[in-house]
Structure formats: C-alpha cells, structure tokens
Structure 1
C-alpha cells in the first residue's frame, strides 16, 4: 500500500444529519457491502451500527471502523456518534485521523453538536470537507448552510458545487471547477452521468464559480494574476491550490447531496482522495521520556515502531485494542514496549476491522489503523520498539456532568455488576464509578442521561 494513496478519515455530525446513512452509501459504492441497509425501519440496520441498541434506537453509540477502496486509494473510515453524550468517541477518533467529513443537515444546518465536533477538529488540527446532506427534504438549502458554517463557526467555506433542482426535485449538482452537471442514475445511484450545465443555471453557476476561484486565489499568487488578467485558470492549478489550503485548514470545501436518495456520495469520495491529506501530509509529535523533549514521528515503515491505542473494547475472546501506527511496523508475534506500564507485551493477533467483523493480518505499516487482540492496555497508551521510550500526546477527556446511584436487583448479582462497571470504565474514559462514603451507594457518572441509560441497559443485557 502506497502511503500517498491512504486516507484515514472520520465522518462526524450532529445527531440525525444522515451521517451513518452516508457511511452506508460510501461502503456500498466502495464495494465493501453489496446491499444497502437503512438506519431506521425494517431490515438489519446500518452496517456501521453493529450493536443491538444502535439498531433499535437508530443512533450511533460507539465509533465503528472499516477499510474500503476508491479509485486506487485505500480509505480507513470511522463513523462516529452524533449525540453529545458519546462525544468521547468522536474525540478519540479525531485524535488519530488525518482528515474528516463534517456532515450538516440541509434543513437544520449548523447545530449544537456540529459546534462541538468543530472544536474537536480544531484541537487536533484535522483538515475537513463539509457535506450538506438531505437536500431532498422540504426547506433544504445548501447555500444557506454553507453561509451558516462561515458565520457561526468562522470556516472559510468554499462552495464546490451548485444544486440542480431543490427539495423533492433535487437531481444532482454542477461541479463548479469543471462546469459539468452530474446526475446519479440506476436503482441505487450507482451510475454517475455527466452532462452540460442546464441552460437556466448557466448564469448562477458562473457567478458561484467566480466566487469559488476568488476565495481560493487568496492562497496562490499565480492564480490571482491569471484572474486579474481575465485568463482561464488551469484545472490542475485549481486542484493543487485547494489541496494545499485544505491541508493547512485555511478553507473548508462544501459538497452536497442526499445520501438517502443516493445522490452526491461518489463526488464526495472523489474529493476525499483528491483534497484530504495522506499520513505523509500530516505532522505528528511524541514525547521522548528519556530526553524530556518533543520528537517528531514519521510515517516511515523502516523506523522504530510508534503506535497509539486509541480505543478499547472488551470482547469474549479478549481485549480488542484499536491502534494507529504512526511510525515503523507493527507485526503479529512481536514484542513491544508500553512506556506507561513500563513493560513489554507480545502482540498475538492483529485484525483489520469492518464494523464488528474481523480480518486477520500479519503486519500493519506506518499510517495504518488496525486492531490488536488480547493485549492488556488502556486507551491512550503508546507502543514502541524495544529500546525506544516515546509517548504520543494523549487525547482530551471531558469531565462527567451527571451522576446516578445504581444497585443490582438481586444481591447475588453484585459480582456481575462489578465486572460490568470495570469493563465500561476501561472502555470509556468519560464513564466513572465511585462509592458514596455516607450512604455506601455505588454511583456512576457520565456525559448525560442517554449515556448512563445506555450503560444501564447494556448491564441488563450483557451481564
């Protein structure tokens, strides 16, 4: 796998913006699944929502990872929850990703969790594209949403497409760079058809194209000169300027469509591989514990290993540890050093995840996202080659905001309760457990009512 052809991206949004529906279409067009399932309604539920509670409630509770392929590129995709109660899932995903897609509802626009997600992207300096979804809905307006993204979140938004039709009559879009109309035909929108700009849209398209070129010319003197001389700007110059500005988080290109009606997803995937960074385009730092200084880690498979465990899940067959390899090579059967624990551990099994399914692999190279099986560690731990003592910078963990007293219905279930609480604390750093000194009650704390409600329900079902 060529590093320049790898994209580690997350899909983040406010709840009910169609984020998981978009993920389902991405998997379908990327050839990862051959049948589209919906988040709500009958059927098996969306692929990335693998927990029973997720399928029942139609919401994403835990982030899910998968790998797909698009036009000679490999995409490691993480679908994250949209509800504020599960914000730590977004936090730990963005900590290890190179780029992101911020999904916005075409009707509601920028919402409270959009603001939280944007803050998290800024914290980890993650470049992003925006996708305005649900354009088939009554009241949907992508231009208004793009302006809200600029006004409310201070993004330097650049509208990349112009809609053809509105609401129920939404048909596709015009690519403002190429001046081509794009339609999505077939039962599942799998056939992309290009054509000329509809005659009644020519003036609007030219107006928005001029605005787009004007916005990005701020980052390229050659383009500014060509525009001042009223000369055509070469397409490759437009693309390279956008790419550079996206990597520097100077602009947020805005794309549009309706994932539920299978429109606009392939164009978004094209933008992901064209404009979002590969691991080679990002700069990452760790702390050398021996020298007491910051050191840069490079996406070079030949250098000593530096990998970070960013998510823990306790399974029946042992702990599953989602890991980002920043430098070096992670091999099955090898022994690596954990600086926090001060000891070395053997990696017995490596798997590539597809939601809840696993594919065994022997090795993972710098830049990749993988899962280790059966390794005991905590979220945020670093793994290094023997002789290296480097720790990657940890992620931000918000403090719990709500508490609840719990006790088992039957006294004999105390051991099961203790097991469940220990497991959930290990998996989720925002889930805390304490014992009240006066009443001797066991209390759980979390990010909101839904957060604790889900854990209580999981205790009942799983224990």
Structure 2
C-alpha cells in the first residue's frame, strides 16, 4: 500500500456516515441538534417545535419546516466529533416523505433509531427499520424522553425485539424514570452516570458525574428504593438478556440500546461516544458491470466513485439552482474532478463542490469515502446516477415505491405557465413528487405521491419559490402498480387508467385494492409490481 492509499485509509477509518430514523415527534431532529451542540458546531441547541422567540432547528432550513416544526427534506451535514468525522443524514420522519427517506438510507453505513419512551415502536419506525434490514444496515437504538412519563424500560426492550424481530442489548440502564430520571447505569464500564440540568435547560451541555459500582455516594444520591429496583433489573438483564458482540451488531442481528433524554441532554454525550466506537466506517459496496456481472467496489483500492441519492432545488434563492447530493463510495474526490456519468455516457466536471451544515454551503477541495458532497446540477444528474473516474459499472439502483395518491394540478394564472413548468420540472426531478403521463395521450398529466402532505409541500413551494398559485383536483385512484410484460396483450379494466412514469415505464392506476387484485388475475402473463428496482 503506497502513501496515498495509507492516507486514504486513515480518512476512511475516521468517517461515520449514518442516518437518524424515527416516527414523527420521537425526537430525531432534536438529537441531531444535540450532536451539533456537542461537536461545537453550534453554541446553543434550537428546538424543533419552537415557540415564539425560540431558535428554529438548524437542520430544518426550509421555511415550511420551521413553521410546522417537522422535517420535510433530508439534510446532510458534516463536522468533526472528537477523533471522528461525522456525516449525518437527517431524514424526514413523516411517512408522507418516506420515498426521500428510503433513498437517503442507501447513502448511510449505519442508522440510529429514535424511539419515544412513552409510545414505543411506532408505524413509521417499523417501516424504516425494515428498509435497514433489507440493506443490512446496522442499527443503534436511542430510547428518548426518559425524563417524561413513559413505559417500563423492560417492556420497551421486549417490544423492540418482538415487533422488529431483532435481538437487543441494553448498553446502559435508566436510573429512575420520568421526574425521577437521575441518569443511567453504564453496563459496559459498570458505573453510575449522573446528569444535572444547566441553567439553560437543554440548550447547553449537561454536567456529568460518574461513580463506580456499589458507590455509597451514588446510592445516597438516588435513594434505596430506586437502587433496589435498579439492581433487580440489572440482575434480570444479566440472566435473561441477550449477549452482545460487535460482529453481530454489524451484521444487523442485534441492536445496542441506550436510554436518554435528547431534550435535556441526559445521556446524549455518552451515547455519541459509544456510537463512534460501535458504528462502522465506510465499507465495500456492490455494483454491476455493464454486462450485468456483480463486483465489489472497495473504498480504498478503487479510484473515485459515487452515486446521486438526492436532488434539491432552490437551496440558494439568489441563484435558483439545483443541488445534487453525491455519496462518495471509493477513492479521493478532488475539486474540479472530471468523471463519467454512466447513464449519460459522457464526462462531467464536478466544479463548485460543497459540504453542508444546515443549508450553509462550504466549498470543498477534497472529500473521501463516506462523505456527502453537493454539486450544482445543471441538468447533468438524475437520482440514482453512478459517477466514477473510470466508468464501466453502476451501483445498485435506488428503489421506486408505488404512489397511492393522485391529482391534477394547474396554475391559477395562465400567464405563469412558464414558471409553473419550470417549478414542476425541478420538483419532479428531485423526487418531491412523481409526474405521470397518459399512456396514449402524453399531454394528460397526473401528479402522484406516497402521502397527501407531498401535495401540500409542492403547492407551497411552487408559490414560495416560483410565485405560482395552483389548483389541486384529487383523482379517485387509491393504488397503483408498474406493469411488466407485453402491453399489447395487457387487459385494462374499465375504471383503471394506464400511464407511464418519468422513465417511460408503464403503470396502472386503480380505484381500489380489490380492482388491483382482479386486474392481476385477469393478466396472468404480466407481473404487477409495487416496488421498482
């Protein structure tokens, strides 16, 4: 290994690239804010659900996100944390934006699953965990809001195992819950870890005090009743709990569980420290040669390669541009590098590369495997594009999920048709909404989404970013499927509609699940698929 490869290898070992997944309101974006706080990137942590006068969360840069207190877009941020370089992908928690979240998860090497201690494993958490399982992404579990009334910790551990079908191992255990939440017992180091609130609540780092096991000072601090309950639960975990091994965690067979409160910073820093030790650095990825043969791309041994997992329009209002987010998979990236776009079959110069922190751009000269770079996108990139120095292969395609809500959308002002068309093109390119065209009439446009809120965001952004007010007319279709097979012999049902997606793939739209199942029976020589890969 030459000096250049050794330097690259060291850079790869430093990287931790992960996504944070959860059901809405579990505390995902709050946890991201606290990571920024503990890394020194921000001096004061903002609150996601900001009351009047409070600071908006730094990772939610869109005005609609700040108004509603939810994450709508994925944001990518890089910063140092102690001896590591963190690349965090903050994903939308709302299920209506699951497509964006699924695509973003492909760029992660690891995931942090945030669970509300009062609500346990919720619907969207289950969906996102299944995506991690499908892609063999190791998952750490952060059980949040332990300072609030919640469910029994043992019950929560059992639910993680039973609902998600994965072994769990408590890396720490709560000392009291709700208003009696004093801290955690570190099962790895066998010590008590106490936290105390600062005068600024959760906006500044919590003070930490550590005591060895059986410390009289610790027992006096928490009281005999809580101490007795703690020892009983720790004994039960030792007898009936699962063992933990790093190998099984990296294989996705066991999830290490941490109890904490992101809002008050109780347990946040010990969690991040453990994460750095446990989470994997960038590793080999599978790709296909142009003849279909599968190969492995090594982050150190192979020259530069990456793929586009997200497009985002109008991050800079002054320039009305579009940013392509690229996950680097191998080799060292250098500014102004000329690469091959496999889909287009031509070379593209990656000029003006950016790193991102909460919507603020910083120009990059170099980047390494695991890093996420943003490149201004003058129509050179589409979601899923593979780019590489040498070309000749493509990374696995990103999945497309069937839309379930359909509508027509027109501009209120006919004179703003040009702005309307430009906005629609940008938003459909970045995957914010799907645009379908009639199978026989190309000018018959139907907009499709996984969730209703996607339409609200589209209308909001068309008005806010392009000055176009729109009229939305819902359509009666409830589900859809891509059609594989000879369209000349496909039997179309009376109430269904045939369309093609942006890539020209034929789809059928149905008014009910029953109609869809009946169509499948009527077309035994065709395959109707819900996920296109």
Query: TM-score normalised to the size of structure 1?
Result: 0.89
Which residue number corresponds to residue 284 of structure 2?
Answer: 283
Which residue number corresponds to residue 272 of structure 1?
Answer: 275
Residue 93 of structure 2 is aligned to residue 94 of structure 1: no
Q: Which of 384, 392, 397 is the matching residue for 1:394?
A: 397
Partners in 1 of 2:266 and 2:163 — Cα distance? 27
Which residue number corresponds to residue 85 of structure 1?
Answer: 96
Which residue number corresponds to residue 470 of structure 2?
Answer: none
Shift of 1:127: 0.2
Gap regions ≥5 residues in structure 1: 219-240
Contact 1:380–1:394 (CA under 8 A) maintained in structure 2 = yes
Q: Judging changes above 3 Å, is the alpha-carbon distance between structure 1 residues 213 and 288 closer, same or farther for their aligned structure 2 residues?
A: farther
Q: Which region of structure 1 is more displaced relative to structure 2, 263-272 or 421-430?
A: 421-430
Alignment of 1:77-226 (within 5 A): 77-185=88-196, 186-187=198-199, 188-195=204-211, 196=215, 197-198=218-219, 200-201=225-226, 204-209=229-234, 212=237
Which residue number corresponds to residue 322 of structure 2?
Answer: 319
Which residue number corresponds to residue 86 of structure 2?
Answer: 75
Q: Judging changes above 3 Å, is the alpha-carbon distance between structure 1 residues 344 and 325 closer, same or farther for their aligned structure 2 residues?
A: same
Contact 1:50–1:356 (CA under 8 A) maintained in structure 2 = yes
Which residue number corresponds to residue 377 of structure 1?
Answer: 381
Which residue number corresponds to residue 519 of structure 2?
Answer: none
Shift of 1:94: 1.0
Cα offsets for 1:407-441 (capped at 9, x unmatched): 11111111111111111110016522446978976
Contact 1:285–1:296 (CA under 8 A) maintained in structure 2 = yes
Q: Judging changes above 3 Å, is the alpha-carbon distance between structure 1 residues 215 and 121 closer, same or farther for their aligned structure 2 residues?
A: farther
Contact 1:135–1:257 (CA under 8 A) maintained in structure 2 = yes
Q: Which of 256, 261, 276 is the matching residue for 1:258?
A: 261
Contact 1:31–1:68 (CA under 8 A) maintained in structure 2 = no
Shift of 1:2: 3.0
Shift of 1:179: 2.0
Alignment of 1:25-36 (within 5 A): 25-36=34-45
Contact 1:125–1:249 (CA under 8 A) maintained in structure 2 = yes
Greater C-alpha radius of gyration: 2
Q: Which region of structure 1 is more displaced relative to structure 2, 261-270 or 1-10?
A: 1-10
Alignment of 1:271-420 (within 5 A): 271-279=274-282, 282-289=283-290, 291-300=291-300, 303-315=302-314, 316=319, 318-374=321-377, 376-386=380-390, 388-420=391-423
Shift of 1:209: 4.4
Which residue number corresponds to residue 422 of structure 1?
Answer: 425
Partners in 2 of 1:421 and 1:436 — Cα distance? 20
SS at match of 2:156: helix
Q: Judging changes above 3 Å, is the alpha-carbon distance between structure 1 residues 447 and 299 closer, same or farther for their aligned structure 2 residues?
A: same
SS at match of 1:462: helix
SS at match of 1:96: coil
Count of paired positions:
436
Shift of 1:217: 7.2
Which residue number corresponds to residue 72 of structure 2?
Answer: 61
Cα offsets for 1:55-79 (capped at 9, x unmatched): 0011100011111222211111111
Cα offsets for 1:183-225 (capped at 9, x unmatched): 223343432221245354555545554555567875xxxxxxx
Partners in 1 of 2:400 and 2:358 — Cα distance? 24
Partners in 1 of 2:206 and 2:146 — Cα distance? 18
SS at match of 2:383: coil
Partners in 1 of 2:35 and 2:162 — Cα distance? 29
Gap regions ≥5 residues in structure 2: 1-9, 467-533
Partners in 2 of 1:319 and 1:336 — Cα distance? 19
Q: Which region of structure 1 is more displaced relative to structure 2, 407-416 or 48-57?
A: 407-416
Shift of 1:50: 0.7
Partners in 1 of 2:14 and 2:365 — Cα distance? 21
Contact 1:140–1:167 (CA under 8 A) maintained in structure 2 = no
Cα offsets for 1:97-145 (capped at 9, x unmatched): 1101000011011111011111111121110100111112223433322
